[in-house]
Amino acid sequence: MFVLEVSNLTKRFGGIRAVEDVGFKIRDNSIVSIIGPNGAGKTTLFNCLTGITRPTKGNILFTDKYISKLPPHKTAEMGIARTFQNIRLFSEMTVMENVMVSQHARVRYGLMSAIMKNNGFRKKEQTIREKAFEYLELVGLEEYAGDIADSLPYGSQRRLEIARAMATEPKLILLDEPTAGMNPAETSEVMTLIKKIRELGKTILLIEHDMRLVMGISNWIVVLDHGVKIAEGRPDDIKNDPLVIEAYLGREMSH
């Protein structure tokens, strides 16, 4: 079963072609990587998939429903979550509160229950807190639940972003350079985390420049260059594709 199907996706900004006729399919419960040099159109593609940017043309099907024209909050409600290349936490809130905010997106309160904070409200809040703690445990941040988010080390802030995205209970999670700026040990931790997320039944689509991570965890890889898809396939196929080597990976990768 394909959870996401992209066909003829194009996005132009004036005369600039950011993405041109890109198409690919993602199977349920798989890890797919989007790779390519800087300026290849990867983040623009993510923005189109999540409703931040409306495509110039083309179709996006998520669980067999067209989502090309939906705004971000609607794509989130349908089950798509994402992180960003630049960290976007609520820096003055606690680690726990950052995750609880995402949980609130799945809960509906009546106005009076929120004002009066009745038993129903308190039970929902307790459930949200417990669920948020589970996601902090998943990413290894449970002991920092009461800390201010901005006080966390860089690598931990990135993992908190993943926990917050997971708290929306998505079917598909998009990770935009989740290991950017990390050292090898931190990268290895994120690699393990991504595998754990897949074991939970999620589908992961990621943009990543670390080729060791990409080749180590991906079931499928899509390669963009100047907004155009130049290759897709399994990691071994991509490593040995002459167009990919020339455009991005470098000659030494073929060896």
Q: Which two tokens stand for residue 149?
A: 């988010």
Residue 52 in tokens = 């931040």
* 160, pLDDT greater than 70: yes
pLDDT at 180 over 50: yes
Q: For 7-24, what is the HEC assignment?
A: EEEEEEECCEEEEEEEEE
104 vs 94: CA distance, rounded Å: 15
Provide the whole-model pTM. 0.87
pLDDT of 219 strictly over 60 = yes
3-state per-residue secondary structure call for 44-87: HHHHHHCCCCCCCEEEEEECCEECCCCCHHHHHHHCEEECCCCC
| Domains delineated in the chain | 2-79+170-254 (3.40.50.300), 93-156 (no CATH)
Residue 254 has pLDDT above 50, yes or no: no
Give, in degrees to the nearest 5, the angle at Cα 178 between 177 and 181. Answer: 80
The per-residue pLDDT of the chain, averaged, comes to: 89
Q: Judge whether residue 119 has pLDDT over 70.
A: no
Confidence (pLDDT) at 111: 45
- pLDDT tens digits, 128-139: 899 999 999 999
pLDDT digits (tens, 9 = 90+) for 71-108: 999 999 999 999 998 888 988 999 999 999 887 655 55
Say what the alpha-carbon torsion angle 248, 252, 253, 255 is, to the nearest 10 degrees.
Answer: 150
* CA angle, residues 97, 101, 105, in degrees to nearest 5: 160
Q: Encode pLDDT of 188-209 as tens digits.
A: 999 999 999 999 999 999 999 8
Average pLDDT rounded to a whole number, residues 112-128: 65
Cα 18 to the chain's mean position, in Å? 20
Q: Where are the alpha helices (DSSP H) in the chain?
A: 42-49, 72-78, 95-104, 111-116, 119-139, 154-166, 184-199, 211-217, 235-239, 242-244
Q: Which of the four pLDDT bands, split at 50, 70 and 90, describes residue 147?
A: very high
Give the pLDDT confidence score for residue 245 in this predicted structure. 83
Please give the residue that has the higher pLDDT: either 255 or 172. 172
How much is the pLDDT for 80? 97
Angstrom distance (rounded) from CA 150 to CA 95? 9
